[in-house]
Amino acid sequence: MGRVKLSFTIDVELEFCDRGRAIRQVEEFAEEGMRFPVVVFGPEGCGKTAWLKQAAEALRELGFEAIYVDPMRRDFIIHTDVGEIVNKFAEAASEAVGIAEAKIATLAIDVVKWLISERRRGKVAVLVDDVFQAVGLEKASRYVKALLGLVEYPPEGYERIVAVAATSKGLSRAEIGRHRWALLRPMWNMPKKGFEELYEKLPRSKPSVEEVWRLTGGNPGMLAKPYQAKWDVETVVRDLVDFRKLDVFTHSLTSDEKIWLLEAVEDPDTLLTRERIPLLNKLVELNLIIDAVPERRPEHWIDEPPPQKDLELGVGRRIAWQTPLHREAVKTAMA
């Protein structure tokens, strides 16, 4: 299979690596068919975008007409010989901010229907990245239902449809989970062996792989940040504090909540008590923590699940910090 090239930083482009099991799972979707669309959630920067782009390539090689879109970045990959489809997405992407995003998201579904009903294309895939941010939380469930309609009630003449959406937002996952319109599947940061493979591809001098692993927990997006900052970790942490407005957040907490948060820095599972759930929900909303981490049974996950518990990386049995750097940003804001 050809490996797609991905932008790692402004000046570094790397080939897709690892995630072998996740690609095999896409191939299983293609071979066995889908009863429901799959919605993948996981830490911001864990590699969902890279996986979806490589999945589009894998599906193309399996004879699918594959459409990948990222409405928020106005990015799209179209594997089809129908030139007018590319033009439609290019036109949508040229619209004004606030209009283009929703148009691209809607067009992804409309084009699949059109390919099957009008062009009689039998094997079609739609892969949508961060779509719920584009359409809005209040429309997230309706979008998933539209994906379900493609799978459940496709136009005549289809052979296989693959429909996958990805999100980093914990709140959108909760909204989608209220309905039985999709299979929710988590993806975690890269396993250590795959992370080391990515690390070795980086040019320039760098700290030891063990040190970088402890900083990022295997998250490729968080690997890019200290790399771009020339390994100035303090700057990366401070940027996280400022971007998430963590100083304001921590000052808004009660004295009890501050104690609970410090305990969660040591062990995130301590948040899983009745009186601490409101604090947990705030941390999920700020995209700092993943709540309700499923059992580590492989069939529940896209790619490899995280360890059962690894407090050095901030991974609890049921609750986990997105990365050690997210946890460090909270500690800095609390200091």
Give 62's contacts (C-beta < 8 A, 6+ positions apart): 27, 30, 123
Q: What is the mean pLDDT of residues 255-284?
A: 97
The domain spans of the chain are: 5-186, 206-334
Query: What's the CA gap between 109 and 252, in Å, rounded?
Result: 42
- 134: amino acid identity, one letter: A
| pLDDT one-digit tens code per residue, 143-186 | 999 999 888 877 666 788 999 999 876 656 666 766 778 899 99
Res 74: pLDDT = 93
CA distance 149 to 268: 38
Structural class in CATH, domain 5-186: alpha beta
Residue among 292, 259, 213 nearest 42 (CA)? 292
Q: Name the percent of the chain lying above pLDDT 70.
A: 95
pLDDT digits (tens, 9 = 90+) for 195-236: 999 999 999 899 999 999 999 999 999 999 999 999 999 999
Token representation of residue 331 = 């500690």
pLDDT (tens digit, 9 = 90+) per residue, 110-126? 998 888 877 767 899 99
pLDDT for 157: 64
Asked if 160 and 35 count as a contact pair (C-beta separation under 8 A), the reply is no
